Structure 1
Amino acid sequence: METCGVAVLRRSPMQTLVEMLRCSAERTPAAPCLILRTETDRQCWTYRDLWETAQRVAAHLRAEGIERGDRVVLWGENRPEWVAAFYGCLLAGVIVVPFDVRAHEGFLRRIEEQTQPRLLFAGRSQIATAGPGHPPAQPLEDLRALVQSRVPVSLPPPAPDDIVELLYTSGTTGDPKGVILRHRNIIANLRSIDQVVAVQPTWRLLSILPLSHVFEQTVGLNMVLRAGASVVYVETLQPRLLFQAMAEEQITAMACVPQVLQLFLRGIEQEVRRQGKERAWRLLHTLAPFLPFSLRRLLFRQVHRRLGGRFEFFACGGAYLDPALAQRWENMGIKVVQGYGMTEAAPIVSLNSLAERNLRSVGRVAPGVEVRIAPDGEILVRGENVFSGYWQNEAATAAAFTPDGWYRTGDLGELDRAGWLYFRGRKKNLIVLPNGLNVYPEDVENALTQTGLVLDAVVCGLDRPDGGVEIHAVLLMEDPAQASAAVRAANRLLSPHQAIRSYSVWPEKDFPRTHTLKVKRAEVLAWLRAQRAGVPTA
């Protein structure tokens, strides 16, 4: 077994998220903390504003009869009031249950049955779509007015082992599982990140991933609050408003998933084609890898102007990142800092740094975290950041850990001698051929997108009547007539055992996706099973 050891962590007096926010508010009370931009307005909350509103929220919860250990749902779009409600709950010792804004009614009810929440802080649009029978709901948009008359009360401070939140899986293949994250898990992760990527108070991050996701909470919020930097929220994710916010707010970084990088790049390249500058674009990308970053930024100054002129890097995680996609951004003088993790690890397990980036790796193991590669290639994780279990689900908790206490990630990977971790794919998606060779779907999907003809792909193994297995691709195409050509081009990039033998073209404009833009593979494969008759072959 391969193992990567633990680095010594710097000591920090902050043991809880509440202490962390209080320290930042005392250090820089008037500094901009949270900014919300709408079509017609701009709101700026200082660190003092956030801290004082969170205290009033805590007093409001007590006045509503909600006690320590009770659960409160947070269900709404990213905005300063979401953050104030979150920290108000923590001040009151109340456990937060974040809901994805796009969660369906059946999912909400299953989670409510498990957690028995006393109250919902929700956006107006979420309240409007909710069916009957939910706990009392209070609009996030009205939060400040709602708690303005509440006088902060003296409350016992949370302890490091107190529960911060219950983060639920999508539940597409069974009952959703609530990941228990405690203050010590999240603080340990923030300390780890701080030793690799030291956030500066001058940074401004644009938040586009949902705060119901732990990646955005840790990298797009808590990491920023810890350093006294700023977060910018936008009311809608329309490209015009995003680019306007990036320019006017002087955005320096963004936490994102690979699909966001692809969407941004696709928009830029569409403009290049519209202007008839494809040849110059290809030439610049050929030259750029041999130039220092300062010159790359000069060569692609129009791109940087479009991104506001101060943009430095993407913090990317949540799904497999095609190294070729990352390289395109690096060519343009924008760093792509990739990491790897999961909700159960709060979430960071490994990460690259701003100074040293291996685009084929998900980084080196974070300080304070241990990684071991099991004999079957599964990545096992242990550390203070790793959760203690699933809410009221002893069986799932026991199944998630090895007998000696390592968390089973369900991911396949490799560690090299230099300590770089490589993600190979999900263990459950691995295709094992009759001759014993393994095919990682992510490798084949990567080859398909590299052709430039495929927007996205889902690859799986289909059983043949003769007992064999063939590699099949479901293709998301801009031009379906190019599907056969795309498969032939991809096969030239693949080893013979990886070759795509059949394909289907997805009939809609996009695959079904999660709130973090991951493809819902189960839904795509369910569609494929219904389409097995008459599948075209390559």
Structure 2
Amino acid sequence: MVDAEHPPATLIDFVEGFAGHGRRTALIEYSPAGKRVLDYAALAERIGSAVSRLAGAGIGLRSTVALWGPNGTDWVVAYFALICRGALVVPLDHQSSAAALSGALDHASPDLILTTAEHRTELAATRPATRTLMIDELAAPRERDVLHDPDSPALREARASTSPDLAAALLYTSGTTGTPKAVPLTHRNLISNTLALCAADLIGADDRVLLPLPLHHTYPFTAGLMTALTLGATVIFPAGISGPEIAAAARDAQPTALLAVPRLCEAIWSSVWSTVERRGKWAARAFRALLAFCGSVRRLTGLRAGRWVFRSVHVTLGGHLEVIGCGGAHLDPNLARRLEALGWTVLTGYGLTETSPVLTFNDRTNSRLGSEGRPVRGVEVAIRYTDGVAPEKPTQRSEPGEIVARGPSVFRGYRGNDAATQAAFTADGWFRTGDLGFLDRAGYLHVVGRRKELIALADGKKVFPEDLEKIYAASQLIREVAILEHRGRLAALIVPNEAAILERGALREVALLREAIEDIGARLPPYQRLSG
């Protein structure tokens, strides 16, 4: 539960609040070695022991430490122990190789890398001068607990020198395009976004959150881990990211909430539908009818009839899952509606690493599927057009503009890249997301594409290639299509569906494709038709 009168100002305050949750379960981890459970008191003790070990290793204020390992209790202990020493944490992708991370490691120049035995061996071969320490060795329980000793020099030094505006984490991102950039996020950035999500009622203190997403990303770290631990909820780490591993953790731990990305939501639906299809066409027809009925009941009354109608589906994920929070990319609203018809509440949002990350969110009481929700507490979102002017009031969709934002969760600039920082902000201090969208009359944000991906044609018309690619790819003769601009007009690179073309006459491949393209184009405005 968040103390409204005295909210945490830094992540050290946040960590010191763990012990107040006592014996409530904080973390449940599944791994090939078995199941590990830590309550909040034990988590605080482990972090305190790791703080002492880091102090003995010379890690303290202004140290930079990379954290390269899998999700789990040891990762959580290591991260927050580093925070309690005043260090700058650089979370790295556990699935990446040392070669793939070389750019980030060279740029961050860490004083120490906390990692696994496997990665340590890799580093010894590729970066022999790098100082390393095993994550599990750091996180192992020890006799001394400095978190319960407020006068401990190890904590007193960090607390006295840690301000809300001190960088806590350094993350590397390229967004959807470009070379990776270093994003420093401060204690204020991360705390403000966490408190805003707590206020949005995504979860409560009694929830159990299934978290399969890698914690080196800000979305699962802030929206999943930090929000849950702030409220005293439970975080569940499956043994891996495969369907069977996630389902096994869900059946045992019985989560009430799942933090997902669109691909995971698609996998859940595909698993359900493939099971239905195996039962034959009559079962499929009955399923569709029941799904449509439950969807109508949900839209008209708000009741989640699918919880009872599709009980067998819910049992596969533990039987208690109520909420699916989906971020990281746009979720197809049709897929969201199908999941809601099955009996779950689907909550979506929008944000970037640079914004810690959530800017807008569809909460339990104010949700509009297809949109990315309204701004979270403390955040302002606006639309800027090419002239830099924002409309006085939100308008219905006409011409989308660039989404800009400001607020306490927005970073201040890229590390060591003044040019990128200058380009990322407007003259009056708004962060330029690089995404295009609009705000509807109710204040919900709709994202329609990336500014860099927008094609401007010779006649001034503007086209989002992704939207058109979906239309052309609907043809049975086209397997893949990429739309681009050529001499002011639209052109495309097409990979044909050879099997479908073979059925209609392989010798007419070019003619068949041309006919399909012309047929689709006839139903589109002239400027959206492919040339040539």
Q: Into which bin does the TM-score normalised by the smaller protein fall?
A: 0.7 to 0.9
Change in CA separation of 1:332 and 1:211 when aligned onto 2, cut-off 3 Å: same
Query: Which position in structure 1 is the counterpart of 2:216?
Result: 212
Alignment of 1:256-295 (within 5 A): 256-276=260-280, 277-292=283-298, 293-295=303-305
Quote the residue 1:533 is aligned against.
none
* Count of residues paired in the alignment: 489
Is the Cα contact below 8 Å between 2:261 and 2:327 reproduced in 1? yes
**Paired position in structure 2 for 1:443:** 467
Helix, strand or coil at the partner of 1:360: coil
Matched, 1:363 2:386: no
The offset of 1:427, in angstroms, is 0.7
- Which residue number in structure 2 is paired with residue 460 of structure 1? 483
Q: SS of the residue aligned with 1:291?
A: helix
Distance 2:326 2:477 in 1: 22
The 2-side partners of 1:316 and 1:369 are apart by: 20
Q: Return closer, same or farther for 1:448/1:253 CA change in 2, 3 Å cut-off.
A: farther
Distance in 1, matches of 2:33 and 2:498, equals 37
1:55 to 48, 57, 69: 48
Please, what TM-score do these two structures have when normalized by structure 2?
Answer: 0.84
Tell me which of 1, 4, 7 is aligned to 1:13.
7
Distance 2:183 2:45 in 1: 29
Q: Distance in 2 between matches of 1:490 and 1:323?
A: 27
Moved more, 282-291 or 66-75: 282-291
Once the two structures are aligned, what percentage of the paired residues are identical?
34
Shift of 1:256: 1.5
- Give 1 or 2 for the bigger CA radius of gyration: 2
Cα distance in 1 between the residues matched to 2:122 and 2:316 = 36
Structure 1 residue identity aligned to 2:426: T
Moved more, 466-475 or 388-397: 466-475
Report 1:66-215 matches (<5 A).
66-130=59-123, 131-133=126-128, 135-145=130-140, 148=142, 152=146, 153-154=152-153, 155-156=155-156, 157=159, 158-170=162-174, 175-197=179-201, 199-215=203-219
Q: State the distance in 1 between where 2:172 and 2:408 align.
A: 20
Please, which of 321, 334, 339 is the counterpart of residue 329 of structure 1? 339
Q: 1:448, 1:490 within 8 Å by CA — same for their partners in 2?
A: no
Task: Tell me how far 1:454 sits from its aligned partner.
Answer: 11
Work out the CA distance in 2 between the residues paired with 1:122 and 1:31. Answer: 28
Structure 2 counterparts to residues 420-431 of structure 1, below 5 A: 420-431=444-455
2:483, 2:490 within 8 Å by CA — same for their partners in 1? no
Tell me which residue corresponds to 1:519.
Answer: none
State the one-letter code of the partner of 2:489: G
- C-alpha spacing 1:320/1:379, structure 2 compared with 1 (3 Å): same
CA 462–112 in structure 1, closer or farther in 2 if over 3 Å, else same = same
- CA separation in 1, counterparts of 2:291 and 2:522? 21
Given that 2:255 and 2:321 are in contact with CA atoms closer than 8 Å, whether structure 1 keeps it comes out as yes
Alignment of 1:275-354 (within 5 A): 275-276=279-280, 277-292=283-298, 293-354=303-364
Deviation at 1:125, TM superposition (A): 2.8
Q: Distance in 2 between matches of 1:345 and 1:239?
A: 30
Which string of whole-angstrom CA distances, capped at 9 and with x for unpartnered residues, describes residues 452-486 of structure 1? 989996743152xx65222556799999989999x
Q: Alignment partner of 1:105: what SS?
A: coil
**Structure 1 residue 439: Cα displacement:** 2.2
Q: Secondary structure at the match of 2:28?
A: strand
TM-score under structure 1 length normalisation: 0.83
Partner of 1:382: 406
The residue that corresponds to 1:412 in the other structure is 436
Q: Which has the higher contact order (CA 8 A, sep 6+)?
A: 1
Residue in 2 aligned with 1:23? Answer: 17
Residues 150, 271 of structure 1: CA spacing in aligned structure 2 closer, same or farther, 3 A cutoff?
A: same
Q: Is contact 2:479–2:497 with CA below 8 Å preserved after alignment?
A: yes
Change (3 A) 1:496 1:368: same
Q: CA separation in 1, counterparts of 2:333 and 2:274? A: 21
For structure 2, list consecutive stretches of 5 or more residues without a partner in the other structure: 147-151, 387-400, 504-508
Unpaired stretches in structure 1, ≥5 consecutive residues: 1-8, 503-536
Residue type of the alignment partner of 2:332 = D
Measured in 1, the distance between the counterparts of 2:211 and 2:499 equals: 28
Deviations 1:170-202 (A, max 9, x none): 599665311110111111112222222252111
Q: Deviations over 1:351-406 (max 9, x none)?
A: 00112321110001112111111113101111011001111222221221111111
User: For 2:227 and 2:498, how far apart are their aligned partners in 1?
Assistant: 38
Matched residues in 1 for 2:111 and 2:366: separation? 47
Structure 2 residue aligned with 1:235, among 197, 215, 239? 239
Provide closer, same or farther for how the CA distance between residues 228 and 196 of structure 1 changes in structure 2, counting only shifts above 3 A.
same
Distance in 2 of aligned mates of 1:494 and 1:230: 52
Distance in 2, Cα, partners of 1:400 & 1:205 = 34
Q: Which amino acid aligns with 1:378?
A: E
Alpha-carbon offset, residue 222 of structure 1: 0.1
Question: Could you tell me whether the CA contact under 8 Å between 2:46 and 2:145 is conserved in 1?
Answer: no
